[in-house]
Structure 1
Amino acid sequence: MKLSKLAMLAALACGLTAGQAMAGNGTIAQVGCFSDSCDSCDPCGEITCGCEPVGCDLGCDSGCDSGCDSLGCNLGGLGLCGDCCHDDPFTLFGEYGGISVGGWLQMGYHTAALPLFNSRPDEVQLHQAWLYAEKAIDTSCGFDIGGRIDYIYGTDSQDTQAFGIANDHWDNGWDNGADYGHALPQLYVEAGYGDLSVKAGHFYTIIGWEVVTAPDNFFYSHAYTMYNSEPFTHTGALATYNATDDLTFYGGYVMGWDSGFEDNGDAFLGGISAGLTDNLTVTYATVGGRFGDGNINRVDPGPPATVGRGENGYMHSIVADYAVSDNLQYIFQSDLLDTEDIDGATVRDTFGINQYLIYSINDCWALGTRFEWYQADAGVFNTDNDVYAWTSGINYKPNANVIIRPEVRWDWVDGDPTGILENDDDDQFTFGMDTIFLF
């Protein structure tokens, strides 16, 4: 799971965190509960859902219903404003003996092809049919041991397989046609004592802010940086040390990028996450060393840039997560990737800046926008390019088990657009929408 997801916002509402939860499942949880009662001089009347009201005047005459009824408040039960507080999600399997089992289904549709998971335009596709089993460790009373396994089927699977070595090892050969397939992106054990824990096996990277798991992202589509310049998975060992409530260190050894239980490199994976203020958390994560032996086979618009040449280098991601208010979250991310082959020639040279604004109205509704500048000087596209993408979207949760994410996206290229956008156009508008069913 990526590091910035470990930084938890301070504001709590209805037992859930504001904006996007920074730990665990990353479920979108919005701030804002309104009482329907204004028949007393207690501001906003009785607060039935157990959290402080947001957006209420302090006077009863213009209290909780102010500004809602005039807008048609719930708009046919959509919960756009007013009392919208969800209970915990319903689970099919639940927890038994400390082991929790669950998953989700993600289905989506988009109007244009993007080289970023969304590869099948103008058709409804199953992106992720996901199952997991996990025993989370609890070191509050001393030593504990646990682990996790994840399985995915869908069009996102081939980009989640261990494609770092093109010899069909681990799950890389589990394809079902051109786009569909299976993957086992995580299989690890974890042990901990006190403030120190170590996981060993096959696990998701700690690099960056966006992740593969659909419920942990605000947007349906993905950033160029996440897809082209960051690893998805590692195989190795990673230690986590919580020095204080506001300071966490990470460090470990991994066998390259996006590979299963087979040697594909020698690299250090680590970082630091620091809560600098009550509202600001900054995370630095890095991976450096030998990333692969030259057989990278990710499904992307261009040929594998490193076949037969090896790849050594350095990559880091810096993420600043700032709670502007109880309802507004701002994320700034900068990624740098610089690698060479065995002869010292550049293999990949990229730099990117992503910015996010996420406004949480209540448990039902959140609004978000993302702007990305991605500079790919070498190794990703056919030529040197600057690619820009602006995305705006909505998250609607009619209940705790369903997330609906419509969005509009505009991509444009400064350089040669060949192999980047659909029909090799200079720019492209895309409408997309997906639905996630948690269970």
Structure 2
Amino acid sequence: MKYLKWLLSAIAGSLFFFNTYSMTLYAHNLKHLLKDNRIALGGWINGGVTLNPSQKNGFNGPVIMADQANRFQLNQLNLFMQRAVVSEGNTWDFGGRFDFMFGTDAVFTQAFGVPTLDVNSGKPLKRSNWDLDLCCDSSRTYGIALPQAYLEAHVPVGNGLNVKLGHFYSPMGYETVPASAPDNFFYTRAYNLNVGEPFTHTGLLSEYKLNKNWSIIGAAVTGSANGGWDGGWDKQLGNWSGVAGFNWTSDNHLTSLKVIGSYGETSTRSSEPWATYNIVLKHRINPKTSLALHHVWGYAGGVLLDNPKYTNVIKDTQWINLMAYLYYDITDNVSVGVRGEWFRDRDGSRNPSPFRIAVTTNIVNGKAVSPAGDPNRVTIMPADYYSTTVGVNWKAAKTLKLKSDLMRKLTIRSNIRYDRVDAYHAPAYRPFAGNKDQVLFSLDFILPF
């Protein structure tokens, strides 16, 4: 019996060894296969906490992304698979990308372009099935989004044409959804990112390089009842909108300008226009200092309004935004930045508070319900929103000389933000826990992998 146990142990150990060896060999071969085919697997983790002295519990008013007061948020656990196309040369090249996001930011990134109620008539709509109901209603704050799923091709025509087909992040704007994007210096996000411009589109996006300085952008987008914004795959496919613009970069690459806009009918039910334009100017003043200016204007026709100033009133609506960013590199590993923003929701159509409850509200058995909270808490008003944010970015891994491959890209961000709102020719508005203003103290981390 003793020898039998030894024999069984030897057999089990041999099987474990060969299984481990086979798995290691398979992983090694898979890694080389992906590398040889230029397929990248990666992602990032972003989480943080925002202290709001005026809130005991709840939301930071209409602030998005870092919208939870006085508790930790795992904002983004984002995984992606990508084959980037080679955008130069005289040969065809094909690629694509797929992103999966879990976290509290998912709700802001989902294809919610078909709202619960038609913006022109107020009648219930059938919402997109792409990623709105994948999981986590019981958690109130966490969810899953599939913000990108597209195929891409480089077409060797002229100086080169790049084409994306599918679901992708909008080419509009300055700040973007991915926490690891270089233009997202601050943990708390601008109002404009959420309500002034689209997060995503579904359709066809192309960019053509005219020369080393100029390129033009064009897109046909669908799947939305908000003029082509944040569309999905299975609803409102008969409604198409256009996106067009250009990029310019100086010879020394110190200055760039992007001008882009969109226009289309609101939905398959309404021919009312939905339009916006977006201008971003970036300039590196010197090796340590850079500046960015961002302006947005938007228009939506025949919107059914329901706020204290306009109750069940159909009106053409507008919004406008101005932002300025200034950054300074103290050292190679520490940078400071300041952001100022003015956002005018002229008619009280764009910026509900809390936005998380508003966007997750559905009509169930004739009643408005939301997993994020009581829909009756949501308020909106014609108003001017002002915010000033000061922040520090610290490349902690480089400063601490961490050797770990996993930790070497760790960045820690802190920021202080002041918000104030003034009602625009309307009754007093206090969306910040009964106040007209608030101060936020935030600390978060970004860990790409």
Q: TM-score, normalised by structure 2?
A: 0.70
Q: State the Cα distance separating 1:417 from its structure 2 match.
A: 8.9
How far, CA to CA, are the matches of 2:202 and 2:105 in structure 1? 20
How far, CA to CA, are the matches of 2:394 and 2:427 in structure 1? 34
How far, CA to CA, are the matches of 1:199 and 1:149 in structure 2? 12
Q: Deviations over 1:198-245 (max 9, x none)?
A: 100000001110000001111101111111111000000011101111
Task: Name the SS for the 2:189 alignment partner.
Answer: coil
Matched with 1:434 is 444
How far, CA to CA, are the matches of 1:248 and 1:420 in structure 2? 44
How far, CA to CA, are the matches of 1:429 and 1:238 in structure 2? 40
Q: State the Cα distance separating 1:397 from its structure 2 match.
A: 0.6
How far, CA to CA, are the matches of 2:329 and 2:141 in structure 1? 34
CA RMSD of superposed structures (Å): 2.3
Structure 1 277/138 Cα, relative in aligned 2: closer, same or farther at 3 Å? closer
Determine which of 231, 234, 237 is the counterpart of 1:259.
231
| Letter paired with 1:283 | K
Task: Name the SS for the 1:341 alignment partner.
Answer: strand
Q: State the Cα distance separating 1:121 from its structure 2 match.
A: 1.1
Contact 2:61 2:433 in 1 (8 A): no
Matched with 1:413 is 421
Q: Deviations over 1:90-143 (max 9, x none)?
A: xxx795221001001111100231421222211111000100000000143411
How far, CA to CA, are the matches of 1:282 and 1:346 in structure 2? 33
How far, CA to CA, are the matches of 1:170 and 1:347 in structure 2? 30
Contact 2:99 2:148 in 1 (8 A): yes
Matched with 1:145 is 94
Matched with 1:44 is none
Matched with 1:207 is 172
Determine which of 36, 41, 50 is the counterpart of 1:101.
41
Task: Name the SS for the 1:244 alignment partner.
Answer: coil
Q: Deviations over 1:66-88 (max 9, x none)?
A: xxxxxxxxxxxxxxxxxxxxxxx
How far, CA to CA, are the matches of 2:41 and 2:104 in structure 1? 22
Contact 2:262 2:277 in 1 (8 A): yes
How far, CA to CA, are the matches of 1:189 and 1:270 in structure 2? 20
How far, CA to CA, are the matches of 1:251 and 1:204 in structure 2? 14
| Letter paired with 1:172 | L
Larger CA deviation: 127-136 vs 341-350: 341-350
How far, CA to CA, are the matches of 2:382 and 2:260 in structure 1? 26
Determine which of 289, 296, 301 is the counterpart of 1:328.
289
Contact 1:134 1:146 in 2 (8 A): yes
Q: Percent identity?
A: 30
How far, CA to CA, are the matches of 1:348 and 1:158 in structure 2? 25
Structure 1 193/199 Cα, relative in aligned 2: closer, same or farther at 3 Å? same
Determine which of 355, 359, 383 is the counterpart of 2:324.
355
Structure 1 285/369 Cα, relative in aligned 2: closer, same or farther at 3 Å? same
Structure 1 257/269 Cα, relative in aligned 2: closer, same or farther at 3 Å? same
Task: Name the SS for the 2:192 alignment partner.
Answer: helix
Q: Deviations over 1:164-209 (max 9, x none)?
A: 1242510011241321100100000001124111100000001110
Unaligned runs of 5+ in 2: 1-30, 53-59, 117-126, 223-227, 305-312, 352-379, 398-407
Query: Do residues 221 (structure 1) and 188 (structure 2) align?
Result: yes
Matched with 1:233 is 200
How many positions carry a matched residue from both structures? 334
Q: Name the one with the larger helix percent.
A: 2
| Letter paired with 1:182 | I
| Letter paired with 1:391 | T
Contact 2:66 2:187 in 1 (8 A): no
Contact 2:430 2:436 in 1 (8 A): no
How far, CA to CA, are the matches of 2:185 and 2:296 in structure 1? 19
Matched with 2:333 is 364
Structure 1 320/289 Cα, relative in aligned 2: closer, same or farther at 3 Å? same
Larger CA deviation: 279-288 vs 101-110: 279-288
Contact 1:190 1:198 in 2 (8 A): yes
Larger CA deviation: 410-419 vs 233-242: 410-419
Larger CA deviation: 242-251 vs 132-141: 132-141
How far, CA to CA, are the matches of 2:271 and 2:427 in structure 1? 27
Query: Do residues 339 (structure 1) and 288 (structure 2) align?
Result: no
Pairing 1:109-124 to 2, within 5 Å after superposition: 109-112=49-52, 113-115=60-62, 116-124=64-72
Determine which of 130, 146, 153 is the counterpart of 2:78.
130
Q: State the Cα distance separating 1:276 from its structure 2 match.
A: 4.4
Structure 1 341/245 Cα, relative in aligned 2: closer, same or farther at 3 Å? same
Determine which of 314, 318, 326 is the counterpart of 2:279.
318
How far, CA to CA, are the matches of 2:273 and 2:233 in structure 1? 20
| Letter paired with 1:289 | G
Matched with 1:174 is 134
Larger CA deviation: 415-424 vs 275-284: 415-424
